[in-house]
Amino acid sequence: MGRMQTMDALGDPVRRRIVELLAAGTRPAGELARSVGDAYGISQPAASRHLRVLREAGIVDSEIDGQRRLYSLRREAMDDVATWVENVRAFWDQRLDALETEIARGNRARRDSRTTPGA
């Protein structure tokens, strides 16, 4: 079901926070590091490492801009997650539908057996 190193990488609150920040637009690494640094009490190198993981998972892109790195969200990454969830949901709903028809069938059967001079 899809390319899921995406969800592997998103199984970390710091990285999810970075994604949330990037949802608002492209940001330099330093700003991201400060944000999550403040929020989670981690150092700048730690944040940089998280950025690397996100990069390698194809969740973000980075672009050089002078002496800084601009990070941006890759839309497709979010699509991956959405697709996975939608598939799970679809299966689940289909199961529920099947259950309903099953129940309906059961009701019909029960009704019939009552109406029919069987018992």
Partner DNA sequence: CAGATAATTCACCCTTGCGTTATATAACAA
Partner DNA sequence: TTGTTATATAACGCAAGGGTGAATTATCTG
What residue ranges bind DNA (CB under 7 A)?
12, 14, 28-31, 33, 40-46, 48-53, 62, 64, 66-69
CA distances from 101 to 36, 95, 113 (A): 50, 10, 18
User: Which one of DNA, a copy of itself, none interacts with residue 53, CB within 5 to 8 A by kind?
Assistant: DNA
Element (H, E) at 67: none
Q: How far is the CB of 114 from a copy of itself (least distance, A)?
A: 29
Could you please report the per-residue DSSP string of 102-117? HHHHHHHHHHHHHHTT
User: Which one of a copy of itself, DNA, none interacts with residue 50, CB within 5 to 8 A by kind?
Assistant: DNA
Assigned token pair, 44: 């700048």
Query: What are the start-end ranges of the E strands in 18-76?
Result: 27-28, 60-65, 68-73
Which residue number, 25 or 66, has a Cβ lying nearer to DNA? 66
User: Which one of DNA, a copy of itself, none interacts with residue 1, CB within 5 to 8 A by kind?
Assistant: a copy of itself
Which pairing describes strands 60-65 and 68-73: parallel, antiparallel, or unpaired? Answer: antiparallel
User: How many residues at the interface with a copy of itself, by CB under 8 A?
Assistant: 29
Single out the segment in contact with a copy of itself by CB under 8 A; choices: 27-35, 38-46, 48-56, 88-96. Answer: 88-96
Q: Is 56 in the site for a copy of itself (CB under 8 A)?
A: no
